[in-house]
Structure 1
Amino acid sequence: MQLAGHLFAAVWVAGLFSFSLCQDDCKRLDGKPGKPGNPGRDGSPGEKGEKGDPTPQVHLSEEEMVALKGEQGEQGHRGQMGLQGFEGLLGPEGPAGPAGPDGVTAANSGDVNSGASKVAFSVVRTDKQITTYNTPVIFDKAITNEHNDFKTNSGRFTCSVAGVYYFVFHFVSEVNLCLKLKTDTNPVVDLTFCDFNLQRRSQVLSGGAVLKLAKGNRVWIERVNPHNMPSSERITMKNEMSLVFSGFLIFSTD
């Protein structure tokens, strides 16, 4: 027991001696800082807060509302054109305009109806029977024959003024009838007009054309046989004016 006490006293003295020796030098022996730890988890959401008070209502007068109106914005892009509307009602007739200036006279303007350019004819056949096919129809009476280019003895018009002409004929009959308007131009004009009269009543066959003629060209009308009818069939006209052939110069080309 006494030995244990001496041993404890010796250890205590040795420790006290070593502590006094380390008061200045042992600080240099501090260890290195440790590594930071892992972040902790997020906390749980908090409880929902209470509803706030509503904004107080403000009543503005019309004057105050106008005063608070903002500035006008920029003009937008032009839109697409809409559908066309219905046509409006016709307005009242306007006043008549002033009279135009007088025109020049035909003698000074070179008009086709002046001087030697007056060409026109209208002839009829007074014979009430026509029997011949493929020959010119004879017109024995002239109503108008300016420039004397239509010859009643031959049934032909002979062009003496080159130009564009209009020709027309009208024929009244009670049988089937075909007529040709023919020329000796180059190329030849050969136009056929037919009327098939099944009821044997008076009917009108008409035909016409605008033709360009040179000097010396001839125009006439021929009867042709429709469907090879017997050539002895006769056409009876009702009156003196049943067959009329007319023509006139529209404009000259000289």
Structure 2
Amino acid sequence: IKFWFLLLPIAMSAEEIQRESSCAERYAGIPGNPGHNGIPGRDGRDGTKGEKGDQGEPGHPGKPGVDGVAGDKGEPGTDGRVEEKGNKGTKGERGWPGKFGPTGMPGPIGDKGQKGELGLQGRKGLKGDIGPIGPKGTKGELGAQGEIGLKGPMGPMGYIGPKGEIGALGPKGSKGIQGEKGWKGDRGDKGNRGSSPILPRSAFSVGLSTKFPPLNIPIKFDKVMYNSLNHYNTVTGVFTCQIAGVYYFTYHITVLVKNVRVALVKNGYRMLHTSDKYQGAEDQASGGIILELKEGDQIWLESFGGESFNGLYADPDDDTVFSGFLLFSTSDVAAPTPLSTI
């Protein structure tokens, strides 16, 4: 290779001399011999990678391959049903209680339902057997003597008694001289009219205008027959004693559809009970009692015993009535009537 590098400048200088001489003479020279082959270029494999070429057209599908040879049959496996049963695992611990869920929103109030129709009359029940008579109670001890009551008002004047017998005559005395008879005197003026006490008064009589009143509260009788002194309150259904004394209370009730249990109540205590079992038609019952009341005591009538005993009824043809009135006063104070002159 070094030899060729030395011959290359010599050949180039000889070619230059010949070119100058030919140009001077202006005759074409004889073509020189072809040069030797050049040094081979670098290997292009270390050059930069070219861009990816376009995808070629898909080839034709190949022919299906030949089926392979069937393999040998494997040995049968062990029967899983004859394996021993494993031991039962231990019971897990009890989990912690879950948290309470959030309180739900209250639902809307439903519409008021329509009033149901009057149901069919039920069959009459069988009469129950009479219970055994209870044992006789022991006699209670004698109670302590009560306090002496207030002195009552003066009674009316008694009838004039029979005329008494004539007494024996005394010894006969000497006869005196008879005096002259005097003149008749003038008639005196008429005196003023005396005072007389006012008799205390308290009475009422009221009726029911609705049917099936609420249970365990005073029945509000709003149909007034007599209540001029307003001792009975039609708003609360309660009679309030204004004059201490002995009273008589009575009631007359009508029963329909259901059984009835009513009680006459004094200051929260039931004093008189009345029960009526509905027999299939309009039944009626009544009760009455005498009570001694103090001023401020309260009396009312109420139904009790549950919805099956709430058959108290009233309409324009059938009444339920509650009445009461003063028999006599126990107060020793009587209000006098104003005096009048004649």
Give the TM-score, by structure 1 length.
0.49
**Larger RCO, structure (CA 8 Å, separation 6 or more):** 1
Could you tell me the TM-score, scaled by structure 2's length? 0.37
Structure with the bigger percentage of strand: 1
Larger radius of gyration: 2
